A and B are shown apart, each in its own frame.
Chain A
């Protein structure tokens, strides 16, 4: 998709975003190209179009948008980290991505060579009798990614949670501008490899829109199948993770084994358990026709086996008891903070990028939107369960109706000059955005990735308040957020 480009004065930016939001649009992302400007992506869910607002900056400051538009707060913190742009009046400006290791090092994406000096990493201090702080991470007890959680608690309840991320910062966005674009898909996938398909797809769509090419039908079908296999495998992993946190060991073992079957689907389709290297600009790289029948058979077998187990898990009174009302996120807050994906739909926000933006065979496919109203951990579990079932339907349907023909379209070796490409994909966590801007020589000038977790980390911090400390893992798992996708 190619977003329309307009110039907006930086003083007008806040009003302009607000007007668009009032018309039912979404704020996609705010970033910069080299520190001399702001770029704001607005998404129109009704028409499936996007608008890129460019605002030139004089100097390196501008009035912060966070005070009136809370969902901007994280983007503005990242602007300060990566570009040395200071949003004046930001209520809590502290690093979101870079940590102490970067003190004295130049802001990585800024054109001017300005050194990272401000380093206020202090946590919000909750005062009062009996308040104590609990620090968790960055190295956690289980096998998960690193991040620090600072919980301020009163007795057994959490009063405030402050997040500290950035431990996995690898310079992905900068790397994507340094290498030949033909090899960029491997780096784009590694932004978060549990979301490899969605990342590869968003990357491919962005490149294809710059090149003005359309992948063949067969490739589009296989892309949908790949995306749904990834959703299936990761939703099963998340539901399994939830059963671990609830202490349901035999259930967890069963989901672990069945996830293995879902990974076999991925193996059969692409030769990789994470579908790495499967999707490329122009279509897909390769696939083995003779394995499709086995893929179909295994998929049906998995469906037959897992659906009754999901039902058993859902009906377990202990599951209901632990999850009902836990980690509540209201619909209004979910909207205000731009929450996406499972977490949004569990709080009655009917947004699924598969229904709004063209990618793979969407939105031409008939798809029932999974929606819950309670906004708690149970709702998020129910959404995942429903989506597992939908994914089975979609894979089945697409395998049956798979059109014949080529799997890749010819892709020009040169990227169009001075152009913008945008890929929006509904990853298993929610809306994933890849935005590519090219320069006057057809080189990638700026590559922006907005992982769904960027929106949803704040939702977790809100939802965990007033919950018991020992329910924190359950809350965290129910949101299932990516650290590497956020930190990049």
Chain B
């Protein structure tokens, strides 16, 4: 045991100090759209054909020559990279940012006609609207899916990401919680338990949909178990896409809920 103490002392600091770092270039990440590269949909449509969750639409427009509209719904995206790897024009690119959470589900629909998600600004001075959770957030996690998101939330608490340094703690009961993080697509079997958990939380409260299943149902959408995500069941304040979202993205979602970063 004394050896172990020595080992611990030798480890120094494992925690990453840079917030929301870029992912390594070889990581799948989420797709992004480069508006400067025109999409030639006429003969291609590869991205929409390959997408396992029908998250991509390619729309031909009459008045624009050789430049179709590509639309990606990141809330359905499972980050498989097939669209990125098979886009012949380079219109769909890799988004290696980890600050990917948003407060409005419409922000998750990206297209070459609109602005793409950009890196966040970490706010230091207080803005006009103050969140009651700026300095601490007690979080209850309810899992309704395949456990990858749960493992990443667990990982967000390890000494590498260390979510507790931001005043975030994972609590054992909904009675103590400010925020409810839901993972998974919420099939009908789990709806009652989830709603009761939500009702047990004191006001004010925040709901975070973590992962593409919680946002849209992901790969499970529209089976007989109706696992179509959280939106129809509870009012959702923050959405974080990914399958699963990176621990930094989960921390981003929590800090967004606290009002400490902007989407």
Contact = CB atoms under 8 A, between A and B. Distances in A.
Partners in one complex: yes
Interface of A: 98-102, 105, 108, 138-139, 141-146, 166-172, 174-175, 178, 183, 186-187, 190-194, 196, 237, 250-251, 253-254, 256-257, 259-260, 263, 267-268, 271-274, 276-277, 286, 288, 291, 308-309, 312, 316, 482-484, 487
Given A257-B14, A276-B79, 17 more contacts: A100-B192, A101-B189, A139-B174, A143-B150, A144-B143, A170-B220, A170-B225, A170-B227, A171-B223, A186-B53, A187-B220, A194-B146, A196-B148, A259-B155, A267-B26, A312-B4, A482-B147
Interface string B145-174: 111101111110111100000000010111
Contact of B220 (A105, A172, A263, A277): A172
Contacts of B197: 139
A169 B189 contact: yes
B162 to A, nearest CB: 10
A100 B188 CA distance: 9
B24 interface: yes
B116 interface: no
Interface residues of B, number: 63
B147 A138 contact: no
A174 B244 contact: no
Contacts of B69: none
Contacts of B52: 183, 186-187
Given A254-B8, A271-B27, A484-B145, A171 B172 contact: no
17 contacts: A139-B193, A146-B144, A166-B189, A167-B190, A168-B144, A169-B225, A175-B220, A186-B78, A187-B219, A190-B146, A190-B220, A193-B147, A251-B4, A256-B160, A268-B26, A272-B28, A291-B26
Nearest to B170: A143
Contact of B154 (A108, A143, A172, A190): A143
A36 to B, nearest CB: 19
Given A196-B148, A276-B78, A170 B193 contact: no
Contacts of B11: 254
A143 B142 CA distance: 7
Given A167-B189, A169-B189, A143 B153 contact: yes
Contacts of A482: 147
A291 B26 CA distance: 9
Nearest to A318: B1
Interface of B: 1, 3-4, 7-8, 11, 14, 24, 26-28, 52-53, 78-82, 85, 141-148, 150-155, 157-160, 170, 172-174, 184-185, 187-194, 197, 213, 218-220, 223-225, 227, 243-244, 246
Contacts of B243: 276
Nearest 5 pairs of A and B residues by beta carbon: A171-B223, A193-B148, A256-B158, A141-B172, A171-B225
Contacts of A99: 189
B14 A171 contact: no
Given A253-B158, A272-B28, A171 B187 contact: yes
A259 B82 CA distance: 27
A292 to B, nearest CB: 12
Given A171-B227, A192-B147, A484-B146, A101 B81 contact: no
A193 B197 CA distance: 24
Given A193-B147, A276-B78, A312-B4, A260 B158 contact: yes
B36 to A, nearest CB: 25
Contacts of B154: 143, 256
A187 B227 CA distance: 13
A260 B218 contact: no
Contacts of A273: 152, 246
Contacts of A172: 220, 223
B151 A194 contact: yes
A101 B26 contact: no
A98 B80 contact: no
Nearest to A250: B8
B189 A98 contact: yes
A271 B14 CA distance: 22
Given A101-B191, A139-B193, A277 B81 contact: yes
B187 A193 contact: no
B251 to A, nearest CB: 14
Given A168-B189, A171-B220, A257-B158, A143 B143 contact: yes
Given A168-B144, A194-B147, A257-B14, A174 B160 contact: no
A138 B142 CA distance: 9
B144 to A, nearest CB: 6
A168 B172 CA distance: 20
B223 A175 contact: yes
